[in-house]
Chains A and B, each alone.
Chain A
Amino acid sequence: MSSTSSARPAGGRLVLPWLSAAVVLVAFLVTVAAGTAWVTWVAGGVAVVVAAAAAVLTRRRVARDRAELERRSRAQHQAETRADEWSRVVESVLQEQLPAYLTNKPAPSLPKLWEGSPAQLALDEAVATLRLLRERRDAAVEVSVRALGRKVQASAHRIQEEAARMVQRHPTDADILATSMRVDHAAAQQARQASGLATLSGQAPGQLWNDPLPLPDVVRAAAGRITAFRRVDVSGDPALAVTPGVAEPLIHLVAELLANATQSSPPSTQVVVVLRQVQRGAVIEIDDGGVGLDPKRLADVREIAAGRTVVGLADLGEIPQMGLAIVGTYARKYGFRVDLSESVYGGLRAVVLVPSDLTETVLPAPALPSPVEPPASVPADDAWPESLGDVPATPAAPAPEAPAPTTPAGAGQPGLPQRRSRRATSDVPPTTDSVPAVARDITAMQTAEEAGAWMGAFFAGDAGRDTTERPAPADTPTEDR
């Protein structure tokens, strides 16, 4: 039994019994050979003593061996437990942490190892490093996406600028205006998408407007950045403008809401935008005629649009839905309040509250409160008709009825400079260089009203042609002749 427990004491432990047996054997042989009885007795006595000693020693060692056995089996058990824990941790790292790291989801907490184990420390360290790496990687991705977004946005604005210059170079060509509009529209949408990327990666909008922007213009500016801009129907003009600093974010925010609204409703329906003033600022309501969302999904998107759920670039997923994430970002950043709810039209209603400290009153508010689109705009579906020239029109062909008319007063006369100098003294307005009225002269400081006023005065004077001023000097020469 004892030999199972250890190898070392086995030899020594077995010496005593063997010794006692040897003594007995020797005594027996001596007795048989010599026939002396006392030798037998002595040998028997020695053998008994030796055997007793052996028994005592063995007993002690057995007890020690038992304790040793117990200790080792405990150790084995502990080792097995730890191995289990280890395998659990490894499994968790492989099956939960790493995928979470790769897909940018929040990782579940790691199972704990036993107290104070060096492995636990190493594990904690590894997790912390992993987290840091992930944050760094996200930040790096954001920085590059931001830069890319900015670049694309800038190039889109450049396209818009070129389109505008093209129209300026051909002031009478309606076809060129039509082409420019298409280009401008496409570029405006591109700029919106690019700006959205930049916004989601934490950048302020790339455009800045210098003047306060009246609310209807905010909506119309926003409409210009979506595909189906014709379907946006704005009504109400509370004579409020948003401050220049928040004009661009608000335009973009509304554009994203309008984009959602037009995309999620039938192409034949209008998206109704109502503007109103409330105690705490201005409200923009956007209703679409779509089918809305189920309550669970609506609750989710409300949180996103209001900015309570933070959606970053990394959370967009494979089919990125940037719109509401952008809305939420702006809401958080600039203090707009955005809410989504079921619309009375069946679809969704988005309500944007622009707080009163971001609005200001505009002075020259149009009198009529209910803007109806003047030129019975066809709510045609999206975008542009296929062909450019679907309107009859007269593109570049110089209109026959309007030859070179407006220059009756002085165009042909070579002596104009002289006349002008005389005009300066007379009280007839200096008509010569502005009747041709090419806007070259507008650089002068006069306002449009002034320019218009004296132009009107000139024609008024010209209508009653015979009268005082002009004929008066002309009278004398007639007599001379």
Chain B
Amino acid sequence: MDAEEYQDHPVRSYVLTSGRAHPSRNTLRPETLVCAAPGHRQPPDRQAAELVRLCSGTLALAEAAAYLGRPVSLLAVLVSDLVDQGFLTIRSNHQPNVLPDTDTLEKVLDGLRRL
């Protein structure tokens, strides 16, 4: 995120959120991954639809913010609204099964040592 780069938008941020600056859920971090909910529904609102389209893969909050040229904290509000409405899902950050088990890790370590 380049702090020196400023992108002006005709539609101001407070209009997008009706003046709310605090997200409805507090689990969103810049690195939180979000993706569009299955079902390919689109929110009626144009900006929201664009955001959902952007997240049709899996995208970190900060990335989405950079693509839209909007601040991360604003994206947190928008994304949590869309998650509440079921258009987006948060990719859980610490699913137990994401961490490989010890066995695998050891194998990887060995492989690395042999490099």
Q: Which residues of A contact B (CB under 8 A)?
A: 157, 160-161, 164-165, 167-178, 180-182, 184-185, 188, 207, 209, 213-214, 216-218, 220-221, 223-224, 229-230, 237, 247, 251, 364, 366-368, 370-375, 377-378, 384, 391-395, 397-399, 401-403, 405-408, 415, 418, 436-440, 442, 448-459, 462-463, 465, 470-471, 473-478, 480-481
Contacts and interface: CB of A to CB of B under 8 A. Distances in A.
A459 B58 contact: yes
Contacts of B50: 364
A171 B45 contact: no
B62 A437 contact: yes
Contact of B29 (A368, A399, A415, A418): A399
Given A168-B1, A237-B46, A373-B18, A474 B104 contact: yes
Given A217-B46, A392-B22, A399-B29, 6 more contacts: A168-B71, A368-B42, A439-B60, A439-B65, A442-B63, A471-B104
A440 B94 CA distance: 23
Given A366-B44, A366-B46, A393-B26, A181 B19 contact: yes
Interface in B56-80: 56-60, 62-67, 71-74, 76-77
A88 to B, nearest CB: 59
Given A220-B15, A477-B107, A167 B58 contact: no
Contacts, number: 257
Given A436-B31, A439-B1, A451-B63, A174 B76 contact: yes
B10 interface: yes
9 contacts: A172-B72, A237-B46, A251-B10, A374-B48, A395-B22, A406-B32, A440-B1, A448-B64, A456-B57
A177 B60 contact: no
Interface centre among A371, A451, A470 (most CB of B within 10 A): A451
Nearest to A214: B46
A391 B111 contact: no
A417 to B, nearest CB: 12
Contacts of B55: 452
Nearest to B60: A437
Contact of B59 (A174, A216, A455): A455
B93 interface: yes
B12 A188 contact: yes
Give 4 closest A-B pairs by Cβ, nearest first. A452-B57, A405-B93, A437-B60, A178-B21
Contacts of B62: 171, 437-439
Given A374-B85, A452-B35, A401 B19 contact: no
Contact of B3 (A169, A181, A453): A169
Contacts of A216: 46
A455 B58 contact: yes
Contacts of B11: 217, 220-221, 224
Contacts of A450: 57
Interface string B8-34: 101111111111111110111111110
Interface string B100-115: 1000101110111111
B28 A375 contact: no
B71 A177 contact: yes
Q: Is the interface of A mostly helix, strand, loop or mixed?
A: helix
A184 B10 contact: no
Contacts of A438: 1, 30-31, 60, 62
Nearest to B55: A452
A178 B22 contact: yes
B73 A173 contact: yes
B94 A167 contact: no
Nearest to B94: A405
B30 A172 contact: yes
Contacts of A481: 110
A168 to B, nearest CB: 5
A443 to B, nearest CB: 8
A374 B52 CA distance: 14
A215 to B, nearest CB: 10
Nearest to B18: A377
Nearest to A475: B107
A175 B21 contact: yes
B74 to A, nearest CB: 6
A76 to B, nearest CB: 78
B73 A177 contact: yes
A127 B55 CA distance: 71
Contacts of A393: 22-23, 26
A430 to B, nearest CB: 15
A458 to B, nearest CB: 8
Nearest to A393: B22
A341 B93 CA distance: 56
A407 B32 CA distance: 10
A462 B58 CA distance: 13
Contacts of B71: 164, 167-168, 171, 177, 180
A283 B55 CA distance: 32
B101 to A, nearest CB: 9
A171 B55 CA distance: 19
A374 B45 contact: yes
Contacts of B3: 165, 168-169
A180 B77 CA distance: 14
Nearest to A168: B3
A229 B19 CA distance: 9
Given A370-B44, A439-B65, A170 B56 contact: no
